[in-house]
């Protein structure tokens, strides 16, 4: 495989995976993490990539991605990156940018076509369910193809998500796994809607550890979650004090904002 990026060729494709490094991996687990509530998927992806020193081995190009540049630690990176760690049979896909609605199918198809060629048999989405304020119940919920349900039901700390719709690129990928010799499922957790929520990422990574013995250390994320929880509690106390001091006629507005 050429080290130089094949994406330097002119033209904007519907969607394609450009593999930039050779690697050998045996039936890897494909973990897909995209921006969502509390950016829990993105936090989980970055934790695995940094902790396992995963190598960027490919990226996705598509005309349906925004014309934007991503910098990490001052280095220009592909916005839709694919990392791998052969020793852990693990591939992590992540992006900071949204995919246009009309590009969901070509992007998810290109990604899974490439994944099937390298031997992927299982694909998992890590995602957050937006809630207002600090989630009171941090259980991980799952939705899966029928043949995966028995494995997930054996974990008594998780619950099945009985009905719902997963949209965006995550939902598109899960829909496409149904068309392939590949099992797709999602691990979801309630997450703070408007700020980064490392506690939610901890829940998802712990579930992944239980299911696949991935071995992710979540201690630093737990400390970050504790700090955010304390700040949220302080903010809630301040807001409550402000509400108590407001005239009755203004209560309705605050109820709508903080309900």
Residue 242: CB atoms within 10 A of its CB come to 11
| Percent share of the chain, pLDDT over 90 | 39
Place of tokens 């193809």: 145
Instruction: State the average pLDDT over residues 91-111.
Output: 91
Task: Give per-residue pLDDT as tens, 138-151.
Answer: 889 999 988 888 88
Helices (H), 82-148: 104-117
Task: Give per-residue pLDDT as tens, 16-42.
Answer: 998 888 888 888 999 999 988 888 898
* pLDDT of res. 195: 80
Domain that holds residue 171: 6-217
Residue 113 reports pLDDT greater than 70: yes
Is there a domain that residue 229 lies in? no
Residue 250 reports pLDDT greater than 80: no
Is there a domain that residue 125 lies in? yes
Q: Out of 54-58, 64-68, 171-175, pick the least confident.
A: 64-68
Residue 218 corresponds to which tokens in the numbers above?
């979540």
Is there a domain that residue 222 lies in? no
Q: Out of 17-21, 51-55, 192-196, 208-212, pick the least confident.
A: 192-196
* pLDDT of res. 231: 60
* pLDDT of res. 3: 46
Alpha-carbon distance of 199 to 118, in angstroms, equals: 33
Is there a domain that residue 107 lies in? yes
Cα maximum dimension of the chain: 69
Residue 7 reports pLDDT greater than 50: no
Give the pTM: 0.81
* pLDDT of res. 32: 95
Instruction: State the average pLDDT over residues 61-74.
Output: 83
Is there a domain that residue 136 lies in? yes
* pLDDT of res. 187: 95
| pLDDT band (50, 70, 90) for residue 75 | confident
Residues 6+ apart with CB under 8 A from 79: 65, 66, 68, 69, 70, 95, 96, 97
Range with top average pLDDT, 22-26, 69-73, 81-85: 81-85
Residue 254 reports pLDDT greater than 60: no
Is there a domain that residue 24 lies in? yes
CATH number where 183 lies: 3.40.50.10900
Instruction: State the average pLDDT over residues 195-205.
Output: 89
Average pLDDT for the chain? 82
Is there a domain that residue 244 lies in? no
Bridge partners (DSSP) listed for residue 94: 33, 81
Is there a domain that residue 46 lies in? yes
Residue 1 reports pLDDT greater than 70: no
Alpha-carbon distance of 85 to 93, in angstroms, equals: 12
Number of domains in the chain: 1
Radius of gyration of the chain measured on its C-alpha atoms:
20
Instruction: State the average pLDDT over residues 125-139.
Output: 83
Residue (of 183, 213, 212, 217) closest to 201 by Cα position = 217
| Percent share of the chain, pLDDT over 70 | 82
* pLDDT of res. 10: 53
């Amino acid at each position: 495989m050429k080290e130089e990026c094949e994406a330097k060729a002119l033209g904007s494709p519907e969607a394609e995976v450009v593999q930039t490094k050779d690697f050998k991996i045996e039936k890897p687990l494909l973990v897909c993490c995209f921006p969502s509530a509390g950016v829990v998927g993105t936090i989980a992806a970055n934790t695995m990539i940094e902790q396992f020193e995963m190598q960027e081995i490919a990226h996705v190009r598509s005309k349906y991605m925004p014309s934007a540049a991503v910098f990490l630690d001052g280095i220009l990176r592909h916005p839709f990156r694919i990392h791998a760690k052969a020793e852990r049979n693990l591939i992590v896909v992540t992006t900071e940018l949204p995919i246009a609605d009309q590009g969901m199918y070509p992007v998810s198809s290109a990604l899974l076509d490439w994944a099937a060629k390298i031997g992927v048999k299982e694909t998992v989405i890590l995602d957050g369910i937006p809630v207002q304020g600090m989630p009171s119940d941090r259980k991980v919920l799952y939705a899966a193809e029928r043949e995966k349900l028995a494995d997930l039901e054996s974990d008594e700390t998780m619950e099945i998500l009985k009905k719902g719709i997963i949209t965006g690129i995550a939902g598109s990928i899960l829909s496409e796994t149904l068309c392939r010799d590949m099992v797709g499922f999602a691990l979801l957790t309630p997450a703070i809607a408007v700020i980064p929520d490392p506690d939610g990422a901890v829940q998802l990574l712990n579930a992944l550890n239980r299911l696949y013995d991935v071995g992710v250390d979540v201690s630093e994320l737990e400390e970050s979650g504790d700090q955010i929880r304390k700040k949220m509690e302080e903010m809630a106390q301040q807001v409550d004090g402000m509400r108590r001091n407001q005239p009755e006629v203004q209560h309705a507005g605050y109820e709508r904002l903080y309900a």
